[in-house]
Every structure is written in structure tokens, then in C-alpha cells.
Amino acid sequence: MHFKRFLPVPSALPAVAAATFLIAAYALPTGANAQNTAFNLPGKSQGAAAAVVTTEQVRAELLAWAPQGVEPGQPVWVGLKLTHQPEWHTYWKNSGDSGLPTELSWQLPAGITVGDIAWPTPKKIPIGTLANYGYEKTVLLPVPLTVAPGFSATQLMVKLKAAWLICRKECIPQEGDFSLTIPVKSSTAASGELFEQTFKATPKSLPAGASQVEVAGKAIQVSLAGLPAALQGKTLEFYPETGSVIEPAAAWQQAWQGAVWTATVPLSAQRTESPASMPLVVAAGETAYRIDAPVKGPWPAAAPIATVSPALEAALRANAAAGAAPAPSNAPPLGLLAALLGALLGGLILNLMPCVFPVLAIKVVGFVHVKDQATRVTTGLAYTLGVVLSFLALGALLLGLRVAGQQLGWGFHLQSPAVVAVLAALFTLLGLNLAGLFEFGNFLPGRVAGWQAKNPTVNAFLSGVLATAIASPCTAPFMGASLGYAIGLPALEALAIFAAIGIGMALPYLAASVIPAVARALPRPGPWMVTFKQLMAFPMFATVAWLVWVLGQQSGIDGAGALLALLVLMALAIWAFTLRGTARTLIASFSIALCALGIWAIGPNITKPVVDTPTAAAEAPGGWQAWAPGRVDQLAAQGQSVFVDFTAAWCVTCQYNKKTTLSDASVLADVKAKNVALLRADWTRRDPAVTAALAQLGRSGVPVYVIYKPGRAPVVLSEILSVDDVRAELAKL
């Protein structure tokens, strides 16, 4: 009996399309369309920036003020006006114990330069045992523009990309794209009153003179001279512009010694800065002044954050600013050789993780058929090359996007609903092919099909690419620490760790390819292979079901339903092309038109996010609560231990642990007995705060399980949880 050779990816088109879409989805900057969708903006066309962005927590508006028009030597101001809903606030340039300052990125025509934000005086916002510096109600962040001589345009187009963190008890990172046209020859006085009011609330600079800051043990002694007589004798508010130096919420003393104002302010136990001078703002009511005072005396040793790699240090500071627990991980720092070994072992174990099981079908189908030893070795090397190069490509893309400012971690591609949908379509195609509905060769030109048939190494290579795409979201034991370590390394060393993971994952298949004993143990080709091929279609369809569920977590029931409908239409179109004669032309044309209509009508639901509300932090079944920046600190300040589950819907290992160990009655009983708070940090969609919290723990992917106890470093558990291990750690609390 003659059996056609079947391969899971006979054409490069599906895998190449998926890879191209993945790169495009993450390499391109986020535009107004994505932001408007994310914030459910009313009354705005998708993809178009405007002067106003509205969310449930804040209304942001770009304003301009040019009293004499846009001319060289004349004042021109632009600014972002933030109108907060009650109880919500954003942050000053030094956010205090938690938070992040608002960031403004301008796009201006040639001949126009932009200055720094003229920060208005903030207020102290106490939150439990912490304190932040920020703004409530309405604030304008003005920025001066300088017009170069010879600027001759008829209008000034200003574009702004702004990012802010808005908080109440929970914190939400938001951003928006703005545009505004300023007429050159006429004044824009409508916003003048607001700008003038803001300038009155902006601290006025004073020379340092005899002012100084003296380091004295665990506190600083501040002496400010030259303050106006109108302030003398009054109780002043005190705001240092340099963060991570003092305890904003701690009690402090102030006094007047004649015309000199003095204060004793405790240093932060988590201090990471040792400045040579400290710009300080003091205020009484709406009157505020700024003095850049030199620092006298040596600083005590700073917190351990200064000893980590620059990349990890930046991530730690970002995480501390976002309000997560500042304690470092309990794991010792890795060396490069240890990280490479951990990456290799992690890649090996990755073959046993649940998320890789569907990919085993592709490898088994291709491996069983090949009996020639030389071909087996060649395809084994090609598969290994596909896996290793794919890990290198994902690692390089991850590192590049992080350098560009994106807060991403391992498995980032499945945080995009569009990528999830493409993978679901690809696995549907593979399943239909394995089930026998069609052969890829029937859709290819004769020359291409003939070339493909003579080059099985291409199929093996693309199988490696596909295996990496679906397996990479998982984090195996040893692999998590190595990935977290890689993020803080130079590019070449980091890529070596990514390559080691790929080698580890491909090693079993490569070893089986080059060992003749494996070939002798394989059954001979026969009719059973057709049945086996069709059976392997069902792991593909199971993967599709999982991906649809993942999309449902990201885009809701409408997104999952839209994807299912489009997959049905795609299957209809493929079936139509298997027909013969006139029926093929008519039904294929009709099905293609239906696909196009479906993509236009319901396709946008796939990328439409689920809009979270403040009630999302409410307690979930099992006692779990939603993690939020600063929540661990709040609970620790109350003396409570915390268990945090960093998870994602696309992480199969996460779901397995959630349904087994984390739902075990004995574990939950120990949690209750020890009064441990359960927090779940969902990383299904991109969340910079979660990414920063993972970076603080030396991790770059999920699952990650951490136990926090006040007064000790956090304990990071294994990626594969067991009931005994969790109970043993809980017993130590």
C-alpha cells in the first residue's frame, strides 16, 4: 500500500504569517486606537488623537496659551489638564512612598523646543501608614515652548503622548494621545486664567545662599535661609523633589531660628539615593518656594538595591514607585554559568509542561514517519535550529521592546488578543489538515509543492518555530530565575540564556534523531499511520479550545464568540476548496465573502478589552483578592502575611496549579489558620505594574508564587506547586 507523506506544516505560510503578525503586533508603538479602545472613550473616532481623553477616573485635556501668538521671544505654553474624579489622584515629580509621576512626550515641528514641566505645589496624600505627594480635583501641568527665530508656519501642530498613574485604593496606569492646533498670528487667551492660577501655585525659586541639608545619622537636618518674611513664623509643608530619601509618612519636627527655618526629617529605611544637593519645596497655603540646598556630611549605606544590575535596579525602582513591596527576593544572585545551566535544565523540563503537550503531537507525527537515518539527523538538526532561533528572536524582541520603554516579560506575545487569535486559526488549520480534510500541497503551486516535498528539513524547522510559539508562555523550574537574571544582562549574555533554553527544549528530539537505537524501536510504516495522523488532530483542536478560553479572559464573551465564528467561516472556506467543478467556485467565493464580512463586522470584538471597574478588586471565591500596586505593603503594615499568585490565563501551568494545589482543602485551611491574605496578580494582558513586581523578584514570566511575611524577605516557591511544599512554607509563618 502506498501512503502519502504527511507533515504537520508542509507550507511555510501559516507559521510565517503567525510570526510576522506577532512581530508586527509588538514592534509597532501603541497608537490612539488602542488607547481609545482600552479606555472606552465616548464620542471619539478610533485611531484619531484629540485634545481630550476621558476615562472613568480622570478627564485629561491638552491646553495651550499664547498671549501674543506664536512668535520668537513671546511666551507660549502648553499643558495637560487633569480633572480627577472624587477620591482619585495622580502624582507629583516625587511621588512619595508609591506612585509614578505623569510623563509627557511631545512631538513638535522644527523650530519649536519644549521645556520641563513647571510642577505645581503638590499636597501630601496619606494612605494607611504611607504617604504620597500628588494632586486631587483639578491640576494643570504647564510646559513652556521656545520658538526659534525664523519660524514661519501658519499654525503650530502640537502632539502629545501622556502616561499617568491614577490611584485611589487601587492604582490604574493609563495613557492617551493628544493633538492641538495653535494659530500663529492670533492669541489663545481662553485658557489664560487657568495657566495664571497654576503659575501662582508653582513654587518660586530662591537662591541657596546659606541653606543646607546636613546628614545626621538616620535623619537629615534641613536649614533654609532667605525665605520671605511672609513665611517666617508659620508652619510649613515640606516636599523634597528627590525621591527615595526620606520617610514621607514619618513624624518630623520643624522650628524657626530667627529667619532660618529648620527641620529634622527621618531617612527612609529603603533609601536608594545619596544626592549631593536636594531641591526642596516649602509651602504655606498657596505660597510656595523652592531652594536647591547642598548636602553636608556623608550619607549612610543605601539599601541593597544599589548593588544589583542597572536594568534590574531600574525595574526595582519602577516597582517601588508603583507601590509594590520593596523587599528583594530571597533567592541568591545567579552567575552567568549558573543561569545558563538553569536555562538548559528549564528547557528540558519544558517538554514535560502541560502547555507543550499539544506540540508533542506535531513532533511525534513527523518523527515516526522518517526511517532513513540521514534524513532523521537532518530534520532533528533543523527542528533544533528552528527552536533555538525562535527563542533568540523572542528574546531579542523582548529585550528590544523593554529598552524602548515597554514593560514586558516572558510570554508577552500571548498577552495580545490578536496573536492569540492568529495562533487559534493556525492550530485550526493544522487540526483540519491532520484530520484529512485537506492537504496543504493541494493549495500550493506545483513547483512550490514539489520543492516542499523534497525539503523535509523546512517542515522540521517550521515545526520548531511553532513549538516555541505555543510553549514559550510557560515557565519551567530553573527557567524562571534564569529568565529574570537575563533581563538585567548585556544583550549578548542575555541572548545566550535564551539560546540555552531553546537547546534544552530541543535536546530530547535531537538526541532521538541521532541515536540509531531509537529508530530501531519505532514501528514500521503501515495503515496505522493514517489513524494515528487523524488522532493527532484532536490535540490541535484541544489547543484551539484553550486559546479561545484565553481570548475570553482577555476580550470577554463577545471576543471569544467572534473568534469561534471566524474559525467556523475559515473551516467553511477550506472545505469549499476541496470540492470539484462549479460547486467549488461558487461555494468558495461565497465563503470567502462571508469571511471578509465576518472580519469586518465582528473581528474588532477580538481585540476589544474587558473594561475593569473598581469592583474588580472584590474578594473572589476561595478568599482570593485582586493584587494591586501597594496592596502587599498595606497588608504587611497591618502585620499580615501575604501569598501572591502571579498568573495568566494563557499559562497552562498556572491553571493546573490553580485547580490542584491552590484549591486543596488542606492548603486553604492552613492559609486560614495563619491568617494569610491571598492576592492574585493577573498578567493575561500587559500590565506594567505586574511586570515590575515580577522583575523585583528576579522573574520575567509566570507562574510565580511568593509568600510575604513582615520583617523578612519574600519566599519564591517553585513553578510546579505541590501541596506539601506550600504547607511547609506556610508552617514557617
- Examine the domain organization and report whether 359 and 484 are in the same domain: yes
Least confident of 110-119, 487-496, 543-552: 487-496
At residue 656, does pLDDT exceed 50?
yes
- Are 198 and 286 members of one domain? no
Residues 359 and 497 in one domain: yes
| 710: containing domain | 614-731
Question: Sign of dihedral through CA atoms 219, 220, 223, 227?
Answer: negative
In a domain, 411, yes or no: yes
Residue 110 lies inside a defined structural domain of this protein: yes
CATH number where 696 lies: 3.40.30.10
**What is the rounded CA–CA span in Å between residue 78 and residue 65?**
6
Pick the most confident of 6-10, 391-395, 402-406.
391-395
Angle between helices 417-435 and 13-27 (to 10 degrees): 170
580 and 700 together in one domain: no
> What is the grid cell recorded at 328?
528583594
The answer to whether residues 351 and 271 belong to one domain is no
pLDDT at 642 over 50: yes
Same domain for 483 and 379, yes or no, is yes
Query: What's the number of CA atoms in the CB half-sphere (13 Å) around residue 328?
Result: 18
Is residue 276, in this structure, part of any structural domain at all? Answer: yes
Give the end of a domain, one of 574, 607, 640.
Answer: 607
**pLDDT tens profile 48-82:** 457 888 888 899 999 988 877 788 878 888 999 99
278 shares its domain with 251:
yes
Looking at the structure, do residues 210 and 198 belong to the same domain, yes or no? no
Among 269, 296, 323, where does a domain finish?
296
Highest mean pLDDT among 18-22, 336-340, 569-573, 651-655: 569-573
Q: How confident is the model at residue 140 (pLDDT cuts 50, 70, 90)?
A: very high
Classify strands 171-183 and 253-257 as parallel, antiparallel or unpaired: unpaired
Per the structure block, which three cell numbers stand in for 274?
545619596
Instruction: Give the containing element (helix H, strand E) for 105.
Output: strand 103-107
**CATH code for the domain in which residue 256 is found:** 2.60.40
Comparing 363-377, 404-418, 610-624, the range with the smallest average pLDDT is 610-624
pLDDT digits (tens, 9 = 90+) for 542-576: 778 877 887 777 777 888 888 888 888 888 888 88
Is residue 332 predicted with pLDDT exceeding 60?
no
What pLDDT is stored for residue 482 in this prediction? 60
Q: Give the pLDDT confidence of 12-51 residue by residue, as tens digits.
A: 333 333 333 333 333 333 333 333 333 333 333 333 457 8
Q: What is the pLDDT of residue 285?
A: 83
More confident site: 243 or 188:
243
Mean pLDDT, residues 658-665 taken together: 87
Q: Are residues 226 and 143 in the same domain?
A: no
Q: Give dist(CA 49, CA 39) in Å, integer.
A: 13
pTM of the prediction?
A: 0.42
Residue 715 within a domain: yes
571 and 600 housed in the same domain = yes
Same domain as 574, residue 480? yes
Give me the pLDDT at residue 150, please: 80
For residue 172, tell me if it sits in a domain: yes
Residue showing cell 503659575: 199
Q: Is residue 34 part of a domain?
A: no
Q: Mean pLDDT, to the nearest integer, of 715-730? A: 87
Burial class, 459, CB count within 10 angstroms (exposed 0-12 / middle 13-18 / buried 19+)? buried
Domain end among 607, 624, 653: 607
The C-alpha cell 510559539 sits at: 469
Question: How large is the C-alpha radius of gyration of the chain?
Answer: 30
Number of structural domains (the chain) is 4
Q: Are residues 595 and 507 in the same domain?
A: yes
pLDDT of residue 486: 60
With contact defined as beta carbons under 8 Å apart, do 70 and 76 qualify?
yes
Using a pLDDT cut of 90, give the percent of the chain over it. Answer: 11
Which residue stretches of 40-187 are H helix?
Answer: none
More confident residue, 190 or 448: 190
Task: Note whether residue 194 is domain-resident.
Answer: yes
- 271 domain-assigned: yes
